Amino acid sequence: MKTQEQEQAPAVAVDPMEDLCQALFSKEEGAKKKAARQTAGAMTQRPWPQLPSRLRSAIRSDIGRLLDSGKARAQILEAGYSAGIVNQTLRDLGRSVA
């Protein structure tokens, strides 16, 4: 006889990198987004080109959105990104911020 737990649908594989990217691509601000920014900012031990392409795109999208909303570099750093990630992203976007 099956228990109720065994009758549930099989577990779906969770990709933490995809969750991180989805949080960064999201236009919603909140705790999940801040945690994603901090996680991405902590990845500075890996050179920028070695980060997954989708993650780099998500970071560029999020930082670009912050810049478009008038945020200064210091505010982007306060949002959770590291200086290395912000600097590389600004270079990629061809933008500079005070």
pLDDT of 1: 53
Could you tell me the two tokens for 26? 């999201």
Classify residue 2: in a domain, yes or no: no
Predicted TM-score of the model (pTM): 0.80
Helix ranges restricted to H, 45-82: 53-68, 73-78
Query: How many angstroms separate the first and last alpha carbons of the chain?
Result: 66
Residue range of the domain that includes 38? 16-21+29-93
For residue 11, is it within any domain? no
Alpha-carbon distance of 32 to 20, in angstroms, equals 9
83 domain residue, yes or no = yes
Residue with the larger pLDDT of the pair 88 and 44: 88
**Residue 10 domain flag:** no
How many structural domains comprise the chain?
1
Q: What is the pLDDT of residue 42?
A: 86
Look at residue 83 and tell me whether its pLDDT is greater than 80. yes
Residue 97 has pLDDT above 90, yes or no: no
- How confident is the model over 55-65, as pLDDT tens digits? 999 999 999 99
Q: Is residue 8 part of a domain?
A: no
Q: How confident is the model at residue 53 (pLDDT cuts 50, 70, 90)?
A: very high
